[in-house]
Structure 1
Amino acid sequence: MIMVCLLSSLSGCLGGWVARANEAGLVYRRCGCRCGQTGRQLGVRCERLAEVDHGRWYFAVQLTGIDERRVRVRRGGFASRAEAERACWVLRQVPGHEAAGMWTLRRWLEFWLSENEGRLRPSTMVNYRGLVNDYLIPQLGHVRMRKLRTRDAQRAMDRISHRHVRGGRLISAGTLNGIRAVLRSALSAARRQGVIDRNPGRGLRLPNGARPRAVVWDAEREKAWNDTGVRPRVAVWGLHQVGRFLEAVQSDPLFALWWLVALRGPRRGEIAGLRWEDINLVDGELTIREQVVVVRGVERLGPPKSAAGVRTLALDEFSVRLLTDLWHRQRRRFGWVDPKQRVFLHEDGRPVRPDWLTRRFAKLVKNVDLPPVRLHDLRHGAAGIASAAGVGLKQIQEDMGHHTPLTTIETYICVFKQIAKQAVRASAELLLQHVRVRASLAGAYQA
């Protein structure tokens, strides 16, 4: 009896702290009573905690997170010590996941990026880090994982959608889709690992925005560009403009490269990474197996953009002749040609890099005095040329290295004006075969 009284007295003197520290964590009791003078909660200092039915039970435990760092987790509101101890025991069965649930979204995104280092292409990682650091962390980085809700993510996306980027334009629909995809992927990983119960990134709505489609530089668009300086987001040359460019660069050492990009449409990293062992001059074939990417100034070799990017392209006789002449020039200059050597080199034998090709192409375009296009727009134009030449959609999709024909249809195929006129004339002729037209109108059509 004396011992019970002493324990009760000790509990009151120490502010009602009834705790036990062991490997299972710290279990204690506290209440919501407030001080009559200051109005502050007494918490564990309330003298009434000596009463059996006063206050609620809590626990605190140190857990090792999934990143091997320690974090303190607190839970409370239990009716008895036994309930608090049981909840603490359950929590300790999956300590890493519960600890991660206490993280802010910033910490989780940084952990998720580090976990994917090496699993994704370096260029993809650079893009992901840019979206995380520029958009997601400033908007949502302070929110704890367990408290993140879909409404929070939606409000953040709404704010981002009203941001302006370079040139005073609103942020593009493509960038918004990329931000949403990164957030959804990171939160899906958190859900798979038990950090959160559901993915708040699912169901986010974005403003309606059409994917930019390539248009052809015609006289009207070129005049508007000369007058205002405003150019279409994605514009490709017409056939005559491609012809003017290729005629002007025939003496360039990399003429074979410009020709292949304009005709077959490989990506710049794919054409830069091409090796002689990838070219079959006898059968007239070129195989895309890898690409070069430059990440923070460092050149890296890796697979093409997708599995569909590994492909074999047929070559015409003129392309084969160009590559054969290039092979002989390199043999005379360097003495021999290693099959594993890159096809396109500088004068000193160094392989060309994708970023250098972009700058070189822009300089050539300026010298030729043509409306501006990117090097990648030659790829768009190659798809348009193939379509105008009557090549089937499936073949164009395979040649471009697209996973689905939807990408080819929505983004790459642009119909040149002269081809469009031929198409509508052919359609009208077919329709007129089944329509009796008055002589005056028929004469006008024939004219």
Structure 2
Amino acid sequence: MAERGHGSWYFDCAVPVLPGRRERLRRGGYPTRREAIAARDALLGDGITATVEGWTMERWLRHWLTTRTRIRPTTLHSYRIHVENNLIPRLGRLRLSELTGRHITDMITTIGATNNRYGRTPTPSTLHRIRAILRSALNAAIREGMLRDNPARYVEVPSPRRPHALVWTVQRVEAWQKTGKRPAVAVWTTEQTATFLGYVAKDRLAVMWWLIALRGLRRGEAAGLRWTDVDLDAGVAMIEQQRIANGHLVTVGPPKTAASRRLIALDRHTIRLLRQHRRWQRAEHRAAGEVWQDSGYVFVAEDGAPLHPDFLTRRFRHLVLELGLPPVRLHDLRHGAASLAHCAGVDLKTVQAQLGHSSVVLTADTYTSVLTDLLAYAAEATAQLVLAAAARNPGHRHGKTKSAGPAEIGSVKRPVTRHCCRDKGSRQSRPRTSHQRPTKIKAV
């Protein structure tokens, strides 16, 4: 320097950014050459600091997304939306080494108080998902040797509650008609489901609506069902794949979980419907001629092309609105299928297998709304149990005997039955009584 105290010193060095990769790092603002050298040596001496210095949160999150190659396209799409819309705008300028739990807590608080595009604040499930994505990204940084600890693991987020499906009773329908408000998850009654299925009987996809409503198929499973997966003679259908929508792009992949790969039993009425559906599809094939796309799917468009899962959602919403039934989502038909099966007397383990759940707890907590018919049956059965016990012991009915206090219960004498003595050849009979003999109770 020509003049003492004029300017500042900087250093430029190569640092490792990931295993096998290095990049140039430039730092400045040091008043003396000695301080610049000391800062450079300190940086290179701490391997983690040298590695993480070149990474901002924005850069790391985008790099982390490129490494997520073994997840479903829809899951990756969800990750990218939360990274671009929530994480990068609020944490992107921080260096990876500067991130603390306080930054993350402030971010969660801000997001939780901000309305989304629907004019509502995010649910606890959304906040939990955002933290889970950030935590996974920071865990990857730890595995790469760029961080020693994960600050996201200590951040508290409101625990998400799985919404419980509510039945569209008469009272709820009237309230919905007056206020326009509906439950987050709702299912139809047996009569409402029958009304819908009767209304769509002439629809091209009538058999698909039937399968979803009674057998609980997901929309992607219904759209991905092939004729090679259906054995009408044996009365079964195998769920081997699903069509997954990611915007306009549709991919074919395995079912959602390992338990979702399952065997669906078909009743005789469903078999008749599927046979009729196959005859209609062959007639459409002959009418379309060369335009027909022989995709091999059970449910196709008018030219034989596979169905987009989003089309099924839109078509179902249109049919429900046209019929005037209380609104439910297409996925809510799956909730209703579990409730209908349980109401028909099917045990929860069988319902779990039918829906393809990995745990019966999920089936019991989420998918079995108690229908009114089942509640009435349970109440009637409980009352009949008590009334039958009272009928067997008429001498102990209320009002005929003095009730014993707590101190007298242990001292109540057991009723004694006297038998008439009979001589040989005697035809004496026991005296008739106006009621049955008290039941003898043996001590255990």
TM-score range, shorter chain: 0.7 to 0.9
Shift of 1:312: 1.2
Shift of 1:249: 0.7
Aligned partner letter, 2:350: Q
Shift of 1:363: 1.0
1:104 aligns with 2:64: no
Match of 2:23 in 1: 70
Contact 2:261 2:356 in 1 (8 A): yes
Contact 1:276 1:339 in 2 (8 A): no
Match of 1:438 in 2: 398
Equivalent-residue separation in structure 1 for 2:275 and 2:293 (angstroms)? 14
Shift of 1:85: 7.9
Shift of 1:344: 0.4
Match of 1:375 in 2: 330
Match of 2:79 in 1: 128
Call closer, same or farther: CA 1:374–1:168 in 2, change over 3 Å: same
Shift of 1:215: 0.5
Call closer, same or farther: CA 1:437–1:224 in 2, change over 3 Å: farther
Deviation string, structure 1 residues 235-254 (Cα, Å, up to 9, x no partner): 11111000000011111111
Shift of 1:373: 0.9
1:233 to 184, 191, 194: 184
1:290 to 214, 219, 241: 241
2:343 to 363, 382, 388: 388
Deviation string, structure 1 residues 144-186 (Cα, Å, up to 9, x no partner): 1111112221221122222223443321122122112111111
Aligned partner letter, 2:305: R
Contact 1:158 1:206 in 2 (8 A): no
Further displaced range: 379-388 or 332-341: 332-341
Shift of 1:60: 4.6
1:353 to 308, 321, 332: 308
Shift of 1:73: 6.2
1:180 aligns with 2:113: no
Call closer, same or farther: CA 1:85–1:137 in 2, change over 3 Å: closer
Aligned partner letter, 1:302: G
Contact 1:275 1:343 in 2 (8 A): yes
Equivalent-residue separation in structure 2 for 1:383 and 1:101 (angstroms)? 53
Call closer, same or farther: CA 1:85–1:135 in 2, change over 3 Å: closer
Match of 2:367 in 1: 412
Further displaced range: 145-154 or 326-335: 326-335
Shift of 1:325: 1.5
Q: SS in structure 2 opposite 1:385?
A: helix
Call closer, same or farther: CA 1:209–1:240 in 2, change over 3 Å: same
Match of 2:439 in 1: none
Structure 1 vs Structure 2 CA RMSD: 3.2
Equivalent-residue separation in structure 1 for 2:22 and 2:226 (angstroms)? 46
Shift of 1:406: 2.7
Q: Counterparts of 1:224-373 in structure 2 under 5 Å?
A: 224-334=175-285, 341-373=296-328
Contact 2:14 2:22 in 1 (8 A): no
Equivalent-residue separation in structure 1 for 2:353 and 2:333 (angstroms)? 17
Equivalent-residue separation in structure 2 for 1:164 and 1:379 (angstroms)? 30
Call closer, same or farther: CA 1:85–1:353 in 2, change over 3 Å: closer
Q: SS in structure 1 opposite 2:255?
A: coil
1:147 aligns with 2:98: yes
Aligned partner letter, 2:320: V
Q: SS in structure 2 opposite 1:202?
A: helix
Q: SS in structure 2 opposite 1:179?
A: helix
Q: SS in structure 2 opposite 1:329?
A: helix
Shift of 1:84: 7.2
Unaligned runs of 5+ in 1: 1-11, 16-34, 36-40, 45-57, 441-447
Shift of 1:119: 1.6
How many pairs align? 388
Further displaced range: 311-320 or 202-211: 202-211
Equivalent-residue separation in structure 2 for 1:349 and 1:71 (angstroms)? 57
Q: SS in structure 2 opposite 1:294?
A: strand
Q: SS in structure 1 opposite 2:369?
A: coil
Further displaced range: 361-370 or 320-329: 320-329
Contact 2:128 2:160 in 1 (8 A): no
Shift of 1:377: 0.7
Shift of 1:408: 1.8
Deviation string, structure 1 residues 89-141 (Cα, Å, up to 9, x no partner): 655x77xx84345422111111111111x321111111111111221122222
The percentage of aligned residue pairs carrying the same residue is 40
Q: SS in structure 2 opposite 1:138?
A: helix
Unaligned runs of 5+ in 2: 391-395, 401-444
Deviation string, structure 1 residues 290-329 (Cα, Å, up to 9, x no partner): 1112223112111122222211111111111111122222
Match of 1:221 in 2: 172
Give the TM-score normalised by structure 2: 0.79
Aligned partner letter, 1:294: A
Shift of 1:371: 0.7
Contact 1:153 1:204 in 2 (8 A): yes
Match of 1:398 in 2: 353
Call closer, same or farther: CA 1:42–1:307 in 2, change over 3 Å: same
Match of 1:23 in 2: none
